[in-house]
Amino acid sequence: MQPMARFACLFLSAALLAGPLILEPFCQANLATMDWPQWRGPDRSGTWYNGPEVDSLTPGMIHKIWEVPIGSGYSGPTVADGRVYVMDYRNGKERILCMNARDGKRLWDHVCPVAYNVGYPTGPRTSVLVRDGRAYTWGTMGHLHCLDALTGVVVWSINTMEHFQSRIPAWGMASHPILVDDLLVVQVGGAKGACVVAFHSESGEEAWRALDDEASYSAPVLINQAGRRVLVCWTGESITGLNPGNGEIYWSVPFQPLQMIMNVADPVYDPPYLFLTAFFDGSYLLALGEDKPTARLIYHCYGESERETDALHSTISTPILQNGYVYGICSYGETRCIELLTGERIWENLTLVPRERWANVHLVKQGDRVWGFNEAGELLLGLFCPEGYRDLGRVRIIDPIKISPNPRNGVTWAHPAFSGNRVYVRNDSRIVCIEITGQFPPP
């Protein structure tokens, strides 16, 4: 660990055990059908449950099935019931697109005229969430839609800027909504206690609201703690555990950004610990109570700057917690291994993505292997352990498109969808479906 002048680490007392991440019933059904119906997969854990079992990745194993043109954006594809959903931005309009997963044929689209007034105004940030024949979408400027997933007909919609006086973050609305039972929970960043709002999924009527905080970009996470379901919301001002049924606050830990709100990665839960990482703010570890829903901050580790640091300062990518270690992508593309309980850096390398400010790799677990998709459009396969990273291969499957104001010569920052033996990726001009040959787990 570097000297304290360059690496601040605040240690506080810890609590005890909690339960595992919750797998919702609709997610269990999608595991069987190999769907990827929402942000980071069927249970939002970034896990590829039914992918090919391979020990290496080579160009000969990759087969392009189809590609179709789309507009720009950071919205990652989702896959449900034989259809692919994605959002883009073209000629001042946000579009919700639905395609046949087999051949990419356009089935329907929904167009919403909207003027962007945010940084990186090149498209929507969030993934379409699909469940029970409905598609839920959250636009960059706060347009919330519920559509019929088969036809694209609007069931209900809300302009949260008008309805809740939402305060749009610097880079737009990017916190992916979550469905808990029949409630759609969204970090809308509204006034009068409406930072987080739950809507009845059938009608769009407000069910509850919570917190006066500014919005952030991090998605809510549903966990099981002390025998209760707890919705963890990392806003621009706090890390809070809510009752997902009524919005009651179980616990809250203040979050004071060191420079500005730039927490994008999801909170990651490995009972009893909750790990968080942000670009400017470094790493946080909380311990959650076993007997009742409580939370204590164990440490906040950060460096002299996001560049001069031994901590993990993730920009976009959600890290992986595995056997007491954290593996993630730091502020300039460094792949880092951090000891979970101390925040101390174990190793660092630059093999997954070229070193650049905000360089990104999306990480997805599959058993003991990890798939990655980096901003250069490469699909990666490897193994993480405390001794280092073992590279099992990489193949470029899509090229970044140079589009202002995206950095470098373009970046592929959208999260892929992994469904069966297929991977769906997009850049700012097209969406591509590839198939991987290999062995597959039994159904």
Q: What is the mean pLDDT of residues 80-102?
A: 97
CATH class of 7-436: mainly beta
Say what percent of the chain tops pLDDT 70: 91
Domain boundary assignment for the chain: 7-436
> Strand ranges (DSSP E) for 264-387?
268-270, 273-278, 282-288, 295-303, 320-322, 325-329, 335-339, 345-349, 361-366, 369-374, 378-385
| pLDDT in the model for residue 9 | 45
pLDDT digits (tens, 9 = 90+) for 46-89: 999 989 999 999 999 999 999 999 999 999 999 999 999 999 99
Mean pLDDT of the chain: 92
CA 104 to chain centre: 24
CB 325 within 8 A of CB 342: no
- pLDDT tens figures, 224-268: 999 999 999 999 999 999 999 999 999 999 999 999 999 999 999
The CB density around residue 205, as the number of other CB atoms within 10 Å, is 11
What would the two tokens of residue 191 be?
A: 């006034």
Residue 328 pLDDT > 50: yes
In this structure, are residues 396 and 388 in contact, taking their beta carbons and an 8 Å threshold? no
| pLDDT band with cut points at 50, 70 and 90 for residue 438 | confident
| pLDDT tier at 439, thresholds 50, 70, 90 | low
Q: What angle is formed at CA 328 by the lines to CA 324 and CA 332, rounded to 5 degrees? A: 145
pLDDT tens string 110-164: 999 999 999 999 999 999 999 999 999 999 999 999 999 999 999 999 999 999 9
Mean pLDDT of 23-47: 74
